[in-house]
Structure 1
Amino acid sequence: MVENNAILNRFFTYRILFDLIYGNDNSIYETVIKRYVSDPEDKDNGKIISEIYKFMSEKYRNEYFYQNTLLNKLLLEKHDVDTTTALRQLPIARSKADFVLINGKAVVYEIKTELDTLERLRMQLTDYYKAFDHVCVVTSENHYYQVLHILSNTPVGIYILAQGSTTSLIVKKEPTEYNTCLDHTTIFKLLRKREYENIVLEYYGKLPNTPQAFYYNECLRLFSNIPILEAYALTLKELKKRNKIMITKLDKVPYELKSLAYFSNFSESDWKKFNSFLSTRYGR
C-alpha cells in the first residue's frame, strides 16, 4: 500500500502546482484523481486537493504533510509571518534541513515520518549544529521511543505529530541552545552573494577590493574573522529576509496548500492563476 501511494510524494510539488495553475496537462494529477477521488467532475480543484490531502492525513503522512503541518502550526498559528521566516530544504554540509524557522532565534526541524528510517539521523544532527544552535526532530508516535533513545542526553528537541482527526503537534522536549559546534565555513555556505556582502559590509564598513577570481574566498576569510556568535547573529538577520509574503494572500490559501504557496515565490500573475485554478471545476 505504501508503494502504491508513493505517487503522492510527486503530487504536492512546485512543478506540479505551476503546471496546474497554468493549464498544462499533468499525468500525475490525473492519476492521483483516479486513485483517490470519487466523482471528480462534480468538484472544483480546491475540493479535489482537499480530499487528496485528507487521504494523506489518514493513510500516508509523507514529508510534505509534516512540513505543511509545521508551517501551519508553528509559523501561522504560533508565530507571525511578518516577524518570522521559514526556510525549507536548506543545504547544510552533507545534509538538507527539512524546515527552519527564524524569529528571535533559529530552529532546524528534522522531519522523520513514519515512512522514514532513522539511519542518517545522527549524521544530519551533527551537520545542523555546524550552522544552527537549536535543532528539533519531528517524528511520528511509531518512532518516538527510538528517537528518544538516540537523543537522550542531547540538546535536541523532540516533537510528535500525533495521529487523529485533528493533527496535533505534541512537544515532548524543547530544544536547548548548543553553539559549541558552530562553524564559520558551514554558515557562510548558507548565504547568497548579496547576503554575505551585507554581513561583510556591516561588520567592516566596506567590501573587499580584490579580483573577482579571489572575491568569494576573501569574503569567506573576512567572515571567518568575525567572532562566531556575532557571525551567526548576522547570518540569521540575513536569512530572515528571505521568503517574505503578505499574510493577506496566505490567509486565503487552503490549509492543504499553505506550504506550497509560501515557498513558491508567486508573482501577482501566479496568485491570480492559483486562485482561479482552485475555484475552477475539474476538467474545465
Structure 2
Amino acid sequence: MNSGNQKDINLLRDYSTIFTRSEALSILKGDFKSIDLKINRHHKKIPNSALNSYSSFLKHSYKVLEKHYQNEYVLKNSFLTNWLIKELGKSDSIIFNEFRIGRSVSDLAMFNGVSKAFEIKTEFDSDQRLKVQIENYKEVFNETYLIIPKSKLSSYRKYSKKVGIILFDFQSKDKFEFFNKAEYRENLKPAILMQILNTEEYKRIVKNYYGDLPKMNSFNQYKVCFKLIKSIPIVRLNEMYLEEIKRRKLDQILSAHTYKELNQICLALKLKKKEKKNLIENLKQPIQI
C-alpha cells in the first residue's frame, strides 16, 4: 500500500472513509454532511472538475486512492471489477462479501460449479492468523486463493502448496495475475457445513438425498439432519451444498463499467437494483458548499 506523500495522508484517509458502509447508508438517505466536511477540509487540493456533483467527487476520490492508497476496499473492489465479474459473465456464479466459516471470515467467496474462498492481504497485513484461516477455508471450499501484493511474494510463497496465489500490482496494466492455481479439494466437514447452512437448506439436502424427511421436531431436527448428512458421500454432498448456496440468489448488481467504484459497497450492503439506483441518483446531486 503506497500512502503517497506524508503531507497528503490525512486527505487519503478521509477519501478512504467515503467508501464505507456507514457513508453509503448516509448517501442512501440523502445525507452528505460527512462528505461535505471532507470537501471543505481539502477544498484546495480537489480539482474543480471533481466538484460538479457528489458522483464526480466520488470517482475522483476513488482514482486517487487507487493510485496512492490501495486499502482493503480498493483491493476488494478492483478484484471484483477486474477479475471476478469476468467469471460471473461466463457462469451462474454467486459472490458473497465476508463469508463466515467458523471463527474465520473469507474476504470474498464465489460459488458456481466450484466453491472458492479469497483472502486479501495488503502490504501492511501480517500472516499471523493465515495458517488457521486457510485450514478453516479448506473445510468447506473446493479452492482457496490468497491475494497478495506482488512485492510480498517472498513472504507468502510458503503457502503456495496449500492455496492458489494471485498477485496484484496497481502499476501493471492487468493489475492481477496468477502465480499458481489452487488445488481442487472435496473434503467438506459436515459439522462446519451445518454451521453455514440454515435450517431450510440442510433439511432440503436431507429430503432431496433420502427422498423424504424423517420424523423430527424443532428441538431435534439439527441432530437428526446432521447424522443423515454425515452419511452422504462427500462428492454428492459437495454438489448439494453448492446448489443450496446458489439458491440464495443475491441480487448481483456488479458492473465492470457503470459506477464500478461502488461494486464492493453494494455487495457488502447486499443492495438490490432499486437501492443501487437510488444511491446513484443521490450521488448525481450538485455539490453545494
Q: Which bin holds the TM-score, normalised by the shorter protein?
A: 0.7 to 0.9
Deviations 1:11-35 (A, max 9, x none): 32333212112213553x3454434
Q: How does 1:133-282 map to 2 (within 5 A)?
A: 133-148=142-157, 150-152=158-160, 154-164=161-171, 166=173, 168-180=175-187, 182-245=188-251, 250=255, 253-267=258-272, 269-282=274-287
Deviations 1:113-142 (A, max 9, x none): 113111111111011011112111001123
Distance in 2 between residues matched to 1:280 and 1:81, nearest whole Å: 35
* Contact preservation (8 Å) 1:107, 1:132: yes
Identify the range of structure 1 (201-210 vs 125-134) with the bigger mean alpha-carbon deviation. Answer: 201-210
TM-score normalised by structure 2 residue count: 0.84
Aligned length: 279
The aligned residue for residue 114 of structure 2 is 105
Structure 2 unaligned residues grouped into runs of 5+: none
The ranges of structure 1 where at least 4 consecutive aligned residues each deviate by more than 6 angstroms after the TM superposition are: none
**C-alpha deviation, 1:7, in angstroms:** 5.2
The aligned residue for residue 22 of structure 2 is 15
TM-score normalised by structure 1 residue count: 0.86
Deviations 1:220-262 (A, max 9, x none): 2222221222212211111123353366x84674111122224
**C-alpha deviation, 1:211, in angstroms:** 2.4
One-letter code of the match for 2:233?
P
The aligned residue for residue 116 of structure 1 is 125
Distance in 2 between residues matched to 1:206 and 1:263, nearest whole Å: 36
* Contact preservation (8 Å) 1:100, 1:108: yes
* Contact preservation (8 Å) 1:199, 1:234: yes
1:24 correspondence with 2:31: yes
Deviations 1:58-89 (A, max 9, x none): 22212111211221123322432861111121
Q: How does 1:71-82 map to 2 (within 5 A)?
A: 71-80=80-89
